Structure 1
Amino acid sequence: MTEGTCPDERTAAAAASVGAVIAWGDVPNWIAALAALVAVVFAWLAAAHTRGLLRREADRDELTQEREMARRRQERRAQADLVGAWIACRVRLTGGEEVLEEYGLVIRNASHAPVFDVALETTGYDGAPQRTLTLAVLPPGEYYAPTTDDPWFWGLPDPKDAVVGIVRPVMRRKERHVTEIRFRDSAGHRWVRDVHGNLRAEQVSAPDASAPGTAR
């Protein structure tokens, strides 16, 4: 035994030395484990970032597709949106007073091409359906079709500007309505406009290329 040194102290010093050797010997393993953990974290972050990019790309593609579909729908119905009709009456001035001549129908095609196979359903003073007004073709313009006493009920439509007298829209008679307009546009698509003015496609099949007026 060395003089001046307690056995317990030598034992404690030897144990501390061994522990230090063991701890320092584990450092490379700890570094490797830490590096592996960091790699896993970075890989997860990279994967999350990639998923985010893919999701944003998919959302962008979906939005682009929706906008393209909306554009095509708008292009398809561009002409149909410009076709309409409303109840009107023709009055003339006599001695400073207005005299009602007859009720009629104003039909408008504000597009630059004719529409075809036009059928207009209306109601009269008592709200009952009137005879259907049918036209093989409606050129661009605004026309007035008067009611008559003959069996056909409707007179021939004339350009509104050529009508003698004042053509006035009927806006206060709830029982007089255009209840439905059906027609085919110049591209061959069929449309229906209801009593509230809502427009919808009557059919979604491909246009009949053999039909008169169908674009080729």
Structure 2
Amino acid sequence: MNEISTLISSATAVVATMVALFLLRQGQVDRRKLAEDAEREHARQISAWADWHGLGDFGTFAKPRLPAVFVRNSSDAAVYDVFVDFRAPIDGALFRVGLGPVPPGETRVQEIDYDGQLEAGWEPAALFARVNFRDSSGRRWLRDAFGRLRADLGHGQDDFFEQGGKILGG
């Protein structure tokens, strides 16, 4: 009888230890997720999209609307070193243009001028614009053409130049 109670007591101690370790691990995972969410909070409020833009700096009566990339900072802090990668409307060449900082609550517009005729039905979504920026904590982020946000791999770690990308003056 004494051996049975010792065996039950030992098994209970092992199960209790396993449950405690599982709960400890789960707590660490939850805290890590909360920390990641807090890190991303500022970056989540930066959006970018491509659309038509009315008669602007480059617009003419022949081209009253130009495709453009819009970068919106809906946060309470500025973002820095903002640049946009996009595909040219006519030949699909890859370009990068710097926009500088974007203050809180503001939208920057980068019109995309082009030479030639756009294909029938062409839409600005074909620019496949993505925005790169540094948040107020110094972390770099990338939001792709599909709206997905991820940490930027760092200078020279993307495949921009391998794809034949060219940097434009902004």
Shared fold (TM-score greater than 0.5)? yes
Q: Aligned-pair RMSD on alpha carbons?
A: 2.4
1:173-209 per-residue CA deviation (whole Å, 9 max, x = no partner) reads 552321x3211110011112223322221259xxxxx
Q: Which residue of 2 aligns with 1:197?
A: 147
Q: Which runs of 5+ in 2 are unaligned?
A: 56-62, 115-121, 155-170
Q: How many residues align?
A: 139
1:134-181 per-residue CA deviation (whole Å, 9 max, x = no partner) reads 0221112223332357xxxxxxxxxxxxxxxxxxxxx95552321x32
Matching residue's letter, 1:76: E
Taking the TM superposition and a 5 Å limit, the aligned residue runs for 1:57-68 are 57-68=20-31
User: 2:45 matched to 1:74?
Assistant: no
Bigger helix share: 1
Matching residue's letter, 2:128: H
Q: Which residue of 1 aligns with 2:111?
A: 146
User: 2:119 matched to 1:119?
Assistant: no
- Residue identity (%): 21
1:45-73 per-residue CA deviation (whole Å, 9 max, x = no partner) reads 00111111111111111111000000000
- Matches of 1:187 and 1:144, distance apart in 2: 24
Q: Is the 8 A contact 1:124 1:177 kept in 2?
A: no
**2:86 match: secondary structure:** strand
**1:128 match: secondary structure:** coil
User: If you compute each CA radius of gyration, which structure gives the higher value, 1 or 2?
Assistant: 1
> CA 1:127 to 1:77, structure 2 compared with 1: closer, same or farther past 3 Å?
farther
Using CA pairs under 8 Å that are at least 6 residues apart, name the structure with larger relative contact order, 1 or 2: 2
Q: Which residue of 1 aligns with 2:118?
A: none
- Matches of 2:133 and 2:143, distance apart in 1: 9
Q: Which residue of 2 aligns with 1:83?
A: 46
Q: What TM-score, normalized to structure 1? A: 0.57
